[in-house]
Chains A and B, each alone.
Chain A
Amino acid sequence: MRKSHILLALILGIGTACFAIPMFPACPLNALMNWGLVATTLVILAIIAFFFEFEAAAVGSKEIALVAMLGAVSAVLRVPFAAIPGVQPCTYLIICTGYVFGPVAGFMVGAITALVSNFFLGQGPWTPYQMLAWGLVGVTATYLRRFNMNTKWLVIFGIAWGYVFGWIMNIFFWASFVYPLTLRTFIVAQLSSVWFDSFHAVGNAIFLGVFGTRTISILERFKKRFNWELLPGPDA
């Protein structure tokens, strides 16, 4: 327990430092480092850490098949909505998955969605950021379990993630293509995507408001049907 706390503090420290240092132009590290590259490396390391977590959590074929199929569905769902800008139905499905199947499955479905759909929509340096952002959608959706499941919380959650998702994606844009890296350019770069993020948020709200509880009940039913365990028999 102790060890993991120290590790957590260390990771948080490194993350904060990487975020804060570029904002102080006087720091000598700025000349040496390429912050776009640093950010991408950190994101990839975070994803790999989650993958190792899944390695330990997924014991059998059931979990693997389930995560793979849900990832495929959510990747395919990007197709019928490609014509409407900003609306991402996969966010809604990832939220439902995270809610029903827990943080590890939620992260994997989110990450797989981004990786797999980009095989068809085009891979690029944005892929790791999308993987992390959607993965975190799945992880955080688990915390909705603490509230009583009702549409109001789902909708609020969806709207919030519509914007946070855009902010995570903008970090990539800001660190790689904008100069100078100051708080001011950071804020303006974040504001520049508000239009698309609002579409995303509205889409999430509609999906979750109208179909959230229905999808969750489908997944819950499937979870009951799919999971079984051996109980000790009377003569065991």
Chain B
Amino acid sequence: MLAFRYRDKGTVIHKLNPFCKLLWVVSVLVFALIFDHPVYLLLLFLSTMPVIIAATVRNEWLSVMKLTLYLCIAIVIINMMLSYHGSHVLLEAPFRIPVMGTPTVTLEAMVFGLAMSLRLLAIISAFAVLTFTIHPDDLMLSMIKMKLPYKSVLVTSLSTRFIPTLVDDLECISDVQRSRGLELDKGKLPQRIKSRMSIMIPLLCNALDRAVQVSEAMESLAFGSGTKRTFYKEIRMSRVDVVTLTLGFFTIGFGIFMCLSGFGDYQYYPTLEVISMGGLEWSVLSLLICLLLSVVMLAFVKRSSDLD
């Protein structure tokens, strides 16, 4: 479970301001959802790669992508089975289902499923950057700075901090129970659930005792005394970060403007549109991708300015 977690690798992407990374993830998410055109979605997906490579999280990313592929297959199959629209019929069933009509598999549905898989891949690839390169504490700190409800964020960060502790507890308890003769992977589903339960109840009781300790520790640090809280770690905004953020907001605005003025539109049904993109469209699209990629370039600029 702990394979998919943040590890500080000290690359330029890891050191980038968390606000900039969050904004980048949000912009990829928004673009992936507002554009329908397969070429746009493909380029969007490809544009996340340089960030992955710069952050040296390729192996983690690959394992996430492997899991995503199963979801993609599900998307393609469900679309092919569900939408009987489209004019290029590949397969037609010889029977009729009363309410649903005659099941048919069309080329349009298949292409639509593939394009939607690209959309999912782009989104998940962007979120992988968030998971692997932002420390959960930094994420929480930036949430507090964005004026999200303080106590909720505190609960989340406390809980994240205790996960590794509880995983240790869990391993310890299962060793203890196993040494007493408990066999975890034996029997049918109800039996297996029951045997795991003898691990879960002690874990729960332990954790509740820990809750008392945490609460006492918070009281002793005068939690809720009303004065303004200070933080040991602060998120500093350098000049490069401000530039990156401004560019990020501009990118989102530019993308939405593109979408509203008709770029990135594509008709899958009833007949696949011919992919014809004029010179203007290509140049606008490549400008958008460059803007998205500027976050990597500015990250390198930031490092060299930090070294100075």
**A and B are partners in one complex rather than unrelated chains:** yes
Residues of A within 8 A of B (CB): 34, 36-37, 48, 51-52, 54-55, 58-62, 64-73, 75-82, 84, 87, 89, 93, 108, 112, 115-116, 119-125, 173, 176-180, 184-185, 188-189, 192, 202-203, 206-207, 210-211, 214-215, 218-219, 222, 226
Choose one: A69, A73, A81; the contact of B214 (CB below 8 Å). Answer: A69
B53 CB–A CB distance under 8 Å: no
A-binding segment of B196-204, B235-243, B274-282, B283-291: B196-204
The residue of chain B having its C-beta at the shortest distance from the C-beta of A184 within the complex is B100
Q: Tell me the dominant secondary structure on chain B's binding face.
A: helix
B207 within 8 A of A: yes
Question: Could you tell me if B79 and A177 are in contact, using CB atoms closer than 8 angstroms?
Answer: yes
Q: Are A122 and B64 in contact (CB under 8 A)?
A: yes
Contacting pair B163 A115 (CB below 8 A)? no
Complex: A169 Cα to B251 Cα, angstroms: 30
Q: How far is the CB of A56 from chain B (nearest CB, A)?
A: 9
**Does B156 lie at the interface of the complex (its beta carbon under 8 Å from any beta carbon of A)?**
yes
**Residues of chain A within 8 A of B301, CB atoms compared:** none
Within 8 A of A (CB), among B199-215: 199-201, 203-205, 207-208, 210-212, 214-215
* Residues of chain A with a CB closer than 8 A to B189's CB: 84, 87, 202-203, 206
Q: Is the CB of A218 within 8 A of B78?
A: no
Q: For B149, what are the chain A residues with a Cβ–Cβ distance below 8 Å? A: 48, 51-52, 54-55
For the complex, give the distance between the alpha carbons of A77 and B119 in Å: 31
Cβ of B43 within 8 Å of any chain A Cβ, yes or no, is: no
* Total chain B interface residues with beta-carbon distance under 8 A: 77
B163 close to A68 (CB less than 8 A): no
Q: Tell me the complex Cα distance, A62–B150, Å.
A: 15
- Contact (Cβ within 8 A) B207 A70: yes
Whole-angstrom distance between the Cβ of B48 and the nearest chain A Cβ: 13
**Shortest Cβ distance from B139 into A: residue:** A119
- A71 to B75 CA separation, bound complex (whole angstroms): 31
Segment from B9-17, B127-135, B226-234, B292-300 that makes contact with A: B127-135
**Is B166 a contact partner of A76 (Cβ separation < 8 A)?**
yes
CA distance A55 to B197 in the complex (A): 33
- In the complex, which residues 159-196 of chain B have their Cβ closer than 8 Å to any Cβ of chain A? 159-160, 162-163, 166-167, 170, 174, 184, 189-190, 192-194, 196
Bound form: Cα–Cα A2–B207 in Å: 42
List A contacts of B212 (CB < 8 A).
65, 226
Chain A residue nearest in CB terms to B74? A192
- Check: B154 CB closer than 8 A to any chain A CB: yes
User: How far is B140's CA from A223's CA once the two chains are assembled, in angstroms?
Assistant: 28
Query: Which residue of the partner chain B has the closest CB to A192?
Result: B78
Partner of B152, one of A51, A87, A93: A51
Contact B200 A69 (CB under 8 A): no
Pick from B5, B116, B148, B199: contact of A120, CB below 8 A. Answer: B5
Distance, CA A75 to CA B158, complexed state (A): 13
Q: A65-B158, A210-B194 are in contact. Are A179 and B214 (CB under 8 A)?
A: no
CA distance A211 to B193 in the complex (A): 10
In the bound complex, what is the Cα–Cα distance between A208 and B6 (angstroms)? Answer: 34
Sorted nearest first, the 9 A-B pairs with minimum C-beta distance are A61-B218, A68-B158, A65-B215, A69-B211, A65-B214, A51-B152, A72-B162, A177-B116, A68-B159
Known pairs A69-B208, A80-B200 / 7 extra A-B pairs, C-beta < 8 Å: A51-B149, A75-B163, A79-B170, A89-B200, A112-B156, A177-B79, A179-B269
Do the beta carbons of A116 and B196 come within 8 Å of each other? no
Of all chain B residues, the one with the shortest Cβ separation from A93 is B204
**B51 in contact (CB, < 8 A):** no
In Å, the complex CA distance between A69 and B167 comes to: 13
Count chain A CB atoms within 10 A of each CB in B81, B162, B204 and give the residue with the most.
Answer: B204
A sample of 9 inter-chain contacts (CB < 8 A) reads A60-B224, A61-B219, A65-B212, A69-B210, A72-B166, A76-B167, A84-B189, A192-B78, A219-B208
A58→B1 contact, CB < 8 A: no
B window 58-100: CB within 8 A of A: 64, 67, 74-75, 78-79, 81-83, 85, 99-100
